[in-house]
Chain A
């Protein structure tokens, strides 16, 4: 129940702020997309991590079950991110169509957009590899399971943030 209220409040806040943001003339649609993607990533991760932490505190876990728990958390995070991005695109398209009265395609990528996408994905992998090595090192040095799996969770978050920021940077400064 509390989670539902939190999510509703977050999305209400998200809706009003995105409406105001879309009305700004200074940024083009292509520049607004990574900013919204970044916001969605942070909001989704924050809500998901809060939910998972609540679950983790409630449960009494052995080392084996703790590994299973955190593995499941990471596996579920991926579809959660995918679904939230799809919802983001739908919301943005609706809001922007209402504001401008024109057909909007946030997912449309031309050659410039594709090149930027490739470079942003490259940056994502660079950061992810560093985080993954840190994760493996933490396992090798027998760190706490909680710490090890949190390293990989936050690696995913930071990598996603880097990808969105790179996209915004390349969109403004060129490639």
Chain B
């Protein structure tokens, strides 16, 4: 079977990237008409970053962590606190006022994002000590627990002057151009890919496959697990910050466990262990959710009211699709392979060969 050579690969990738950038640019310039698809794409990009970060932990290192929402919250609140314009702050903290040191603290967006990521990573570092020694299922519940603890602290009245507690933060300035969010997302994913392709990434995969064997090969289990955890938390924090900027207002309810479940389902959909799968899964899930909205409205075919279509039906269909993926397409869309032009090329070749074979043979052969 022929394969495409590297040059062809690069050219195809560059063309795809170029087209994507042009389309996005066009949509951004006509923001009024395209704000809806743009919003969906932005949200997908943000979730893609978290999904890849979660995949780094779950798919590549074998650590099942359910704490994403909490780390996103840390990143989000950091960015929010630092980027709300100073003159608007007294209005936002309208009940209790803002704590003195924060009243003037301000930072440009990129610095706030990085700081948010660093804080989240630091929390991950601290949390890692107790939690990373646990077995997978306990690790999941422990990280879930930490996520809820973080959320409790954010909403707590005693931190009202810092996080505005239950009142939420608003007036967060949006992205000046939607391209920024895609750029940041692409950068984060690119960095994570670099990590995975490095020797550290190989160590992570070794740990996923067999911890005992990895240790006997000289890999310091705890140090590497911690590294994976911290890196993942860093990018999760950044994506939380981006979410805050996208949404323009946040409160602690935004970061409930449901958010982590959403990310988990994206990762499962795309394939645990596949980066492009997570990106694809993120777009699918976000777009799919919107697209399936028509399930929520009563459907009338030729005057006959189809009985099941009521509000809430969309989420049922959605959950059913996910259960199907989990049970029957366990590897998700891409399994642990990556999207590659070779893959598509090979797929097309196989398709054409199969069609040729079908034409030639008279038997009704079994397909697939």
- Chain B binds chain A: no
